[in-house]
Structure 1
Amino acid sequence: MKFNFAIIIHILGILLMISGGFMFLCFPFSIFFWEGDWINMLIACAITVLAGFIAWRRTKNNQNRELKKRDGYLIVSFGWLIMSIFGTLPYLLTGTIPNFTDAFFETLSGFTTTGASIITDIESVPKAVLLWRSLTQWIGGMGIIVLTVAILPILGIGGMQLFVAEAPGISPDKLQPRIKETAKRLWLLYVGLTVAETILLMLGGLSFFDALNHGLTTMATGGFSTKNSSVAEFSPYLQYVIIGFMFLAGTNFTLTYFSLKGDFKKVWRNEEFRKYVGLIFFVTLATAVTIYIVTDHDIEKSFRDALFQVIGITTTTGFVSADYTSWTPFLTVLFFLLMFVGGMAGSTAGGVKIVRHIILFKNSLLELKRQVHPAAVIPVRLNRKAVNQEITYNILAFIMIYMFIFGIGIVVMSLLGVDFITSLGSVATSIGNIGPGLGDVGPVDNFAGLPSAAKWFLAFLMLLGRLELFTFLMLFTPYFWRRY
């Protein structure tokens, strides 16, 4: 099977034009705040849109409009890379981040919603650049590919291959039979929740600009903030608002859709959702009790810090309200383990995903039964339905590869001169798309001090994690490129 490179370039051109359109949204803020960077933002936008337009125009008349599954994987993988390359322009042209390595790291961290930053003084960054920084996370949160899926049918191109390659989780849980309608509903919900959070944050005293940025990055489970201290200095009201929307962002969007329609029974019957709530409840309880014992915080402050950090790391949002590494070694280890959990499948969260842990645990228990009753056929069940054996094998392979890459990543970072604790934290947080890690990349530090080679390697891990390993790793296998 040959690749349809013409249609691949055509769609990549569309992605660049869409990315440039979002970039243009920052231009009015350059004018409003009059920080002298408006011309550079305009140039960055023009270059991005022009490059996309040329790619789209040159392949517009291609007769073969068929999009195969392998084409979809190429578009998703190269789409993130190309958008990240052009996404560096606002940083480079404004001089905010003059080094390409750092600019690419910051941009890819945004698009993958990791939230790992190399900017040491965020509050000195021009407002338009800060907005672009937040928009990269908002675009990447749901996946600009899903947005494009809604446009492709108009162009006569089927988009199901893209949705399968990009949709978070094990398989896309479609709200409607048509993929176009699914994408539209997902984005309508995504935009609606972002607007709602922005309004609630403004009611708590945040400026429109700060509220908008935190609304964008919360729903994306990204964690970029406009403040050097992240949200540590925010009022309890603002922190509770962000907690609520982090929880929603880490929930399967189809369940949020059903809850808005009033179908709460369907939501609670979902086994993954119950485990998601249960995990947050019990870990928060253990964390709050520990904080209350080892610090001078009152009960409310202990509970709020515990809940904020547990949800922040579980959903891979990465906002920081306190330095969790300063509490106790027990909590440091506990939060490190949370980095391997992730939110629900079908959410904007990164990580392994809770549903994979559920199926892995159930399959492990059933193996004990199979040892006693080797002839018995005992399927793994999720939501009272038997899970296809192929899905179980897929999850086992995913977990094995995930942990293998984690181990290799620690070795690579150590070879690059990074200490063990920092290597541990940086690899875990990058492949899980979380943000803060341990050691020199902990919640009160950032990634600026790492060697350039380490930043490129961590950027590679971010992309691997965002595309759920298989989509990107497939490109490095010979049989993916083999004609047949």
Structure 2
Amino acid sequence: MSLIISFILGILFYKIKTTKDKLSIYQKILTVFFGYIFIPVILSIPFYFSIYDLTFLNSYFEAISGFTSTGFTIFDNIKHIDQSLILWRSTTQWIGGLYFLFSIIYLIDIYDESFKKTLTNYISFNSSEILKQATKIFLLYSSITLLIFIVLNIFSIRSFDSLNLAFSLISSGGFLPVNELSNIIKDNTQVIVLSLLMLVSFFSIFFSYNIIFSKDKNINFFYEDLHLITYLLIVLTIFFLFFSFNKDFLNNLIGITSSMSNIGFSLESKESNLSFIYLILVIIGGSFFSTSSGLRFIKIYSLFKYSLNQILSFSRPKNVFMNKLIFTKINFDFNEISKYFLTVLIFIISLFILTILLSISGISFENSFKLSILTLMNTVNSASYGLQDFDFNNLYFLTKYCLIFFMIVGRIELLTILLLMKKFLFKN
């Protein structure tokens, strides 16, 4: 039914030609935003008509949690759910991840020139080639999903679980086909393999494609991925040296990679004593053109370096400090830094608002704060963050609507919220 409705709506929207003029950036943002609202309505149909007597709000909550690759669920016991519905839950994530990649291309005008130049190595933004570029992304996204599925099967994970995990890993989603990840991942080899596969949604989706097929091996071509590799190695080293208590580094490895990729899976059944550090990794996020959320590491690094240079320039006025990224000759200018600062500011404001709203609804302040971060960063509530037993099913309906709204806010670039406010609240 969902497929039929989607097909009919797609034909209708394709036939309706409202204007031949080029859409403004505000119209594009609203298009993407409404897509996040209305597509999950269609995806919620199998939940609503299932045998589990779900209300429309709970069905919509489950669908939008999957579509935004967040992973919050209203189901108490996954093993009691029909396998076809479990597979549908995972599919909503896969669809949402693909939609997110398309939305980045659609909203490319709001991003920095350095990011746009990086993407033009792979795709063209010529409007006459939209179908061609969309097809390229779809084929690459599908191929990586298939590769993840095959690798998981090779390491003795049953096909049904492998397929669901593949949909989750490629989309940076948080849905599991079982109640606990430990029911699937049973030995150290599988832990290592899963940890490495979660990094697929941490790096750019074009990273592997670029290594294999690109003829241009200029180091500037890999500049963001080189930064991310350095960041990953530093984090792993710190955890290995200082936080591997009782030889539990492999458990930490799952927490590190899942947090950095905004997936959120955890092998631990108890509350982690490293939840605060994992939340910081969640906030930082991964690559610009990946399915992960977060503020993006390259933006945080650029903002930190620029701020440090500004401080040093006052203490050493005769010295010249270059605002240049390592591994590259790319310099970032003040306009880009302003965007990064506004992104961080909007995140803080959104975090404050959502935390207050959740606290008012009766959730403890600590849980409200953690849940707000996970909502805005589209990361599932696992034991890594001490929220594995959080009950979404019995939340007040207004609280669910708040979470739905902020899951969407987290999935679209936070800068778009500022642009919409500028357009509709501060217009002359």
Q: The TM-score by the shorter chain falls in which range?
A: 0.7 to 0.9
Corresponding residue for residue 104 of structure 1: 60
Corresponding residue for residue 32 of structure 1: none
Matched, 1:215 2:166: yes
Corresponding residue for residue 456 of structure 1: 401
Corresponding residue for residue 260 of structure 1: 212
Corresponding residue for residue 80 of structure 2: 124
**CA–CA distance in 1 between the matches of 2:190 and 2:28?**
40
How many angstroms does 1:52 deviate by?
Answer: 4.0
Q: Which AA in structure 2 matches 1:253?
A: I
Matched, 1:421 2:366: yes
Matched, 1:310 2:256: yes
How many angstroms does 1:386 deviate by?
Answer: 1.1
Q: Which AA in structure 1 matches 2:201?
A: A
* Structure 2 counterpart of 1:198, from 139, 145, 149: 149
Matched, 1:353 2:296: yes
**CA–CA distance in 2 between the matches of 1:428 and 1:106?**
19
Task: Report Cα offsets for 1:61-108 as digits up to 9, x if no partner.
Answer: x56364333321121111111101222111001144612222222111
Contact between 1:246 and 1:311, CA under 8 Å: does it hold in 2? Answer: yes
Task: Report Cα offsets for 1:286-328 as digits up to 9, x if no partner.
Answer: 44556653x4xxx4xx2221111100011101222224624x3
Going from structure 1 to structure 2, the CA distance change for 1:249 and 1:115 (only over 3 Å counts) comes to same
**CA–CA distance in 1 between the matches of 2:324 and 2:280?**
25
Q: Which AA in structure 2 matches 1:464?
A: V
Corresponding residue for residue 281 of structure 1: 233
**CA–CA distance in 2 between the matches of 1:65 and 1:447?**
44
How many angstroms does 1:163 deviate by?
Answer: 4.7
**CA–CA distance in 2 between the matches of 1:450 and 1:170?**
40
Q: Which AA in structure 2 matches 1:410?
A: T
Corresponding residue for residue 38 of structure 1: none
Correspondences of 1:371-382 after superposition (within 5 Å): 371-372=314-315, 378-382=321-325
Secondary structure of the corresponding residue to residue 381 of structure 1: coil
Correspondences of 1:40-439 after superposition (within 5 Å): 43-57=1-15, 59-60=16-17, 62=18, 64=20, 66-96=22-52, 98-143=54-99, 146=102, 161-164=106-109, 171=116, 173-176=119-122, 178-179=124-125, 180=130, 181-231=132-182, 233-236=184-187, 237-261=189-213, 266=218, 270-288=222-240, 292-293=244-245, 295=246, 299=247, 302-323=248-269, 325-326=271-272, 328=273, 331-372=274-315, 378-382=321-325, 383-436=328-381
Going from structure 1 to structure 2, the CA distance change for 1:477 and 1:108 (only over 3 Å counts) comes to farther
Going from structure 1 to structure 2, the CA distance change for 1:316 and 1:417 (only over 3 Å counts) comes to same
How many angstroms does 1:473 deviate by?
Answer: 4.9
Contact between 1:324 and 1:332, CA under 8 Å: does it hold in 2? Answer: no
**CA–CA distance in 2 between the matches of 1:145 and 1:264?**
23
How many angstroms does 1:353 deviate by?
Answer: 0.8
Going from structure 1 to structure 2, the CA distance change for 1:231 and 1:183 (only over 3 Å counts) comes to farther
Going from structure 1 to structure 2, the CA distance change for 1:142 and 1:121 (only over 3 Å counts) comes to same
TM-score (norm 1): 0.77
Aligned length: 418
Q: Which AA in structure 2 matches 1:316?
A: N
How many angstroms does 1:266 deviate by?
Answer: 4.7
* Structure 1 counterpart of 2:388, from 433, 436, 443: 443
Going from structure 1 to structure 2, the CA distance change for 1:473 and 1:435 (only over 3 Å counts) comes to farther
Contact between 1:360 and 1:396, CA under 8 Å: does it hold in 2? Answer: yes
Going from structure 1 to structure 2, the CA distance change for 1:442 and 1:232 (only over 3 Å counts) comes to farther
Contact between 1:112 and 1:462, CA under 8 Å: does it hold in 2? Answer: yes
**CA–CA distance in 1 between the matches of 2:417 and 2:82?**
34
**CA–CA distance in 1 between the matches of 2:384 and 2:402?**
18
**CA–CA distance in 2 between the matches of 1:280 and 1:457?**
33
Going from structure 1 to structure 2, the CA distance change for 1:263 and 1:417 (only over 3 Å counts) comes to farther
Going from structure 1 to structure 2, the CA distance change for 1:270 and 1:64 (only over 3 Å counts) comes to closer
Going from structure 1 to structure 2, the CA distance change for 1:144 and 1:418 (only over 3 Å counts) comes to closer
Higher relative contact order (CA 8 A, sep 6+): 2
**CA–CA distance in 2 between the matches of 1:280 and 1:162?**
28
**CA–CA distance in 1 between the matches of 2:62 and 2:111?**
21
Contact between 2:164 and 2:177, CA under 8 Å: does it hold in 1? Answer: yes
Contact between 1:77 and 1:471, CA under 8 Å: does it hold in 2? Answer: no
Q: Which AA in structure 2 matches 1:209?
A: F
Going from structure 1 to structure 2, the CA distance change for 1:481 and 1:420 (only over 3 Å counts) comes to closer
Q: Which AA in structure 2 matches 1:83?
A: I
**CA–CA distance in 2 between the matches of 1:184 and 1:134?**
22
Q: Which AA in structure 1 matches 2:380?
A: G
Going from structure 1 to structure 2, the CA distance change for 1:308 and 1:439 (only over 3 Å counts) comes to closer
Secondary structure of the corresponding residue to residue 319 of structure 1: coil
Going from structure 1 to structure 2, the CA distance change for 1:253 and 1:347 (only over 3 Å counts) comes to same
How many angstroms does 1:251 deviate by?
Answer: 0.3
**CA–CA distance in 2 between the matches of 1:323 and 1:273?**
33
After superposition, the CA RMSD in angstroms is 3.2
How many angstroms does 1:437 deviate by?
Answer: 5.8
Q: Which AA in structure 2 matches 1:178?
A: S
| Fraction of identical pairs, as percent | 22
